[in-house]
Structure 1
Amino acid sequence: MPKKTYRYILFYKPYGVLSQFSKDTPSQKTLQDYISVPDVYPVGRLDCDSEGLLLLTNHGQLQHRLCHPSFGHPRTYLVQVERIPDTTALSNLEQGVLIKNYRTKPAKVKLLSQEPLLPPRIPPIRFRKNVPTAWLEMTLNEGKNRQVRRMTASVGFPTLRLVRIQIADLNLGDLQVGEWRDLIASEVKLLQKFAF
């Protein structure tokens, strides 16, 4: 029996795309509209209204280990929030906040001094002339459903835009929105250290 060839794919998921291949409605964009590789599946999810790095593979054991809560690995996001968080809000996010009877694990949170260089979102976020926005860089070691959005909302600064830029040692690099590429051998090795 031939040895199975594993594929590991990085994809820059656009806003408004579901992290699945099946279509619920003909007009809804899914991974099927961008990736024509058979039998690969996303490792974790990015919500429809989130953008950025998505990892896909046909390596079931690695997928399971990376998704299982007991094998935490860092995920880094750029987060545009409504208004400018104060030191108390930032400290609360770092220490962990209570969301629906669950306290989030400690996170790394940094208020960015300037807007990051990102491609424009289509459609753009709603703009309110009298409400300033700020950008945070947040690194979490867990991935609960809509966690970043719930965390920033819980400290009073709702998320307007969310872009995942890194998973463990993998980052967006030169990928453009809607593009994907296979991991190179050295990246696969880095990834496997988190899973085996």
Structure 2
Amino acid sequence: MFKRLSKLRRFLLACCLLFGLWFFIPRQANMEDFDPARMGRLESDMWRHYYDKSYARMAGALFLASHGQYGFSPWDSLRMAWHAAQAARRTQPTQPRAQAFAVGIPPLTEYYRIIQKATGAAWQPEDLAPMELEWWVQRRENATWQQYGETIARLTARAYDAPLERVRPACLLRAEMMDYRDQRRNGLMTAEDWQHITTELGKSWALLKTAVTPQPARRDP
């Protein structure tokens, strides 16, 4: 009996070790390797959970995107989801710009720090976090979707080290869908509206993937 118990303990310890290695060991993430349609569905889910103030479910969708689409480790994905949800929760209530930046910048900086470390990107988290929060605040200040869409485009170009003109169409389509939802707030959104947003977000992610995927070098004839 004791021998069996000892074997069981060794087996459980081995399982715990393997799980720990799978969960915690950092991985090289790839922000360009994602399925556009899947990302469209996940982002649509994030929006719905955000407006329902269901931050735990929003974090769950972000975890699935970070781990399942970009290849971050489960531990990094969990921390990214936590920091992003905290930033959303703290800044969702209407508040002065300075206050929104005071409470939103710290978690967003940590969010981008995890991304920078796992991808080896050249940018600094302290530079991207304010750009992310800027378009959040612009929306609350009733900027047009073209205006905050341009801010999203500048952020995306910086994050992917891609030309602004290449990523702009994807970002403007994404912003247009934000405005589409805003025009139907206060309970006017239908299942068909959310399906439309999901479809268009999928198109936006497809445009982005084309924009940031390295193009093969042309050979001279």
| TM norm. shorter chain > 0.5 | no
Which has the larger share of helix? 2
**Which structure: larger Rg?**
2
Which has the larger share of strand? 1
Query: What TM-score do the two structures reach when normalised by structure 1?
Result: 0.29
Tell which has more relative contact order, 1 or 2 (C-alpha 8 A, sep 6+).
1
Query: What TM-score do the two structures reach when normalised by structure 2?
Result: 0.27
